Chains A and B, each alone.
Chain A
Amino acid sequence: MTLRDILNKLLGRQQASATTARERLQLVLAHDRSDLSPELLDQMKLEILEVVAKYVEIDMDEGAVSLETEDRMTALVANLPIKRTLKAKKQDDEQSS
C-alpha cells in the first residue's frame, strides 16, 4: 500500500489503477502457475478445514487458505488460528454440563 492509496482511502476515492493491476496480477498468476482454479482451491480449503477440525477447534472467521508466490515459487499458505484443542473443548463441555 502506498501513501497515495492511504490518501485515496481517506478521501473515499478509488485506489490507483496500478495498485489494482498489481493485486489482480498477483492473484491470477498464483492460480496460473499452480494450475489451480479458484473453485478447486475452495474445495481443497474445505477439505483441509475438515481434517484440521478433527484435532483442533479453529477460528473459521479468521482462518484463510491461499496461494502466495514469490520469485516464481508458489506456496499454499494456511493460516488457521487455533481456538483450543479438542481435548480442552471436551473438558470445557463436561464442566458446563
Chain B
Amino acid sequence: MAPNTRIILICSGKGGVGKTTLTANLGIALARQGVRTVVLDADFGLRNLDLLLGLENRIVYTAQEVLEESCRLDQALVKHKQEPNLSLLPAGNPRMLEWLKPDDMQRIVGMLAKQFDYVLIDCPAGVEDGFKNAVSATKEAIIITTPEVSAVRDADRVIGLLNTNGIKPVQLVLNRVRPKMIESQEMLSVDDVTDILALPLLGLVLEDEQVIISTNRGEPLTLKDNISPAARCYANIAKRLQGENIPLIDPAKAGRGLRDKFMRLMQTKIF
C-alpha cells in the first residue's frame, strides 16, 4: 500500500444529506489539483455516484467482478474523460450486500491505495453492515450533515461509532447552509453544529440550486472554475484537505451592512 494514500470515508448516518454530491465534487476538485484520485461507490444498495459523475454509460465491470477475480482492477475502473486523474470504481449488483464482508472491502481499498493518492469512499446511509464494511476499510472520515435536528442527531451516532473504531481524523462538512435563515435564527448556525458535535469544521457548502442543475447534466460543479456559491465551497474543501490554509468564512457573520450588523447583534449570546 502506498503509505501516503489518504483513504477517506464520506458518511452521514442520515440519507439524502449530500454524501454522493460531496464525493463527486471533491473527487473532481482533487483530480484537477493533479492528485491521482479514485472514488469508490460503497453504497451498493442505492448506487448513483456514476450518475452524478456522468459515467453511467461507461461501466463495464464493477467492484463485484474485481472481488470475484473475473476481471482485473484496471478493467473495472472508469476514467473520467475530462479529468483523467479521476477514476470511479462502480458498485456492483445490490445483491453484493448479502455476501460482502469487511475483508472484501479492505481488499478492494488496499488494491486502490496502491495506485492512487486519494481513495474517497461514498458510504451508504445507516449504521448497519454496509456502513460497518466501509468503516473497516478506511483511515479517516468526513462527516457531512445539514443544519437540521434529525441529520445532526444521526451524525452524532456515526461519530460515536467512528471514534470506537479508532478512525482519525474525523472532520465535519456542513451542507445546505442558508445564511439568511441563520441570521434570522431559524436555522442552526455553523457554531451551533460544530459545538454540539465537537468536530473540527472542514468546510461548509451553501444551499445552491446549481447543485441540482449540475446533477441533471452529470457534470459536477467543480469541473469548471465555476462561480456558483456551492462550487467555491467544494473547491475550498478540496484545498483544505490538501493542507492549504483557506480561511473559513461564516456567511452568516460576513455581511457588513447595517442590517447585517443588527441581525448579528440579535444573535449575540447573552448567557
In the complex, whether A25 has a CB less than 8 A from a CB of chain B is: yes
| Pairwise interchain contact A18-B189, C-beta atoms closer than 8 A | yes
Q: Is the CB of B132 closer than 8 A to any CB of chain A?
A: no
Chain A, range 6-50, C-beta contacts under 8 Å to B:
6-7, 16-19, 21-22, 24-26, 28-29, 32-33
Q: Is B93 an interface residue (CB 8 A)?
A: no
A18, A19, A24, A28: most-surrounded residue (chain B CB, <10 A) = A18
Which of B148, B149, B198, B267 is A71 in contact with, Cβ under 8 Å?
Answer: B198
Residue of B nearest to A7 (CB): B266
Cα A91 to Cα B185 in complex, Å, equals 55
Residues B153 and A29 in contact, CB atoms below 8 Å apart = yes
The residue in chain A whose Cβ has the minimal distance to the Cβ of B262 is: A3
Roughly how many angstroms separate A6 CA and B266 CA in the complex, as a whole number?
A: 9
Question: Shortest Cβ distance from A61 into chain B, in angstroms?
Answer: 23
Please determine whether A18 and B192 come into contact, CB atoms closer than 8 angstroms.
yes
Bound Cα distance A14, B175 (Å): 27
Q: How far is the CA of A71 from the CA of B271 in the complex (A)?
A: 19
What are the interface flags for A59-77 relative to B under an 8 Å C-beta threshold, 1 for contact and 0 otherwise? 0000000000001100000
Q: Report whether B153 and A28 are in contact in the complex, using a CB–CB cutoff of 8 Å.
A: yes
Q: Which residues of B contact A29 (CB under 8 A)?
A: 153, 156, 196
> Considering the chains assembled together, what is the distance between the CA atoms of A32 and B158 in angstroms?
12
CB of A2 within 8 Å of the partner chain: yes
Bin chain A's interface residue count.
20 to 34
CB within 8 Å of A: which B141-168 residues: 148-149, 152-153, 156-157, 159-160, 163
Contact A2 B270 (CB under 8 A): yes
A54 at the interface (CB under 8 A from B): no
Separation in Å of the B127 CB from the closest CB of chain A? 12
| B153 surroundings in chain A (CB, below 8 A) | 25, 28-29, 32
Q: Does A1 contact B (CB under 8 A)?
A: yes
CA distance A48 to B189 in the complex (A): 37
User: What's the Cα separation between A28 and B268 when bound, in Å?
Assistant: 24
From residue A8, how far is it (CB to closest CB) to chain B in Å?
9
Could you tell me the distance between the alpha carbons of A1 and B269 in the complex, rounded to whole angstroms?
Answer: 5
Answer whether residue A4 sits at the interface, using C-beta atoms and an 8 A cutoff.
yes
Q: Are B185 and A16 in contact (CB under 8 A)?
A: yes
Closest to B159 in A: A72
- Which residues in window 9-31 of B have CB below 8 A to A? none
Partner of B149, one of A1, A3, A6, A24: A24
A25 touches B152 (CB 8 A): yes
A42 CA to B267 CA in the complex, in Å? 34
A26 to B188, CA, bound (A): 12
B residues with a Cβ closer than 8 A to A are: 148-149, 152-153, 156-157, 159-160, 163, 182, 184-189, 192, 196, 198, 265-271
Q: Please provide the 3 A-B residue pairs with the shortest distance between their CB atoms, ordered closest to farther.
A: A16-B185, A4-B266, A18-B185
A-B contact pairs, 11 of them (CB 8 A): A1-B270, A2-B267, A3-B267, A3-B270, A18-B182, A21-B148, A24-B149, A25-B188, A26-B196, A28-B153, A33-B160
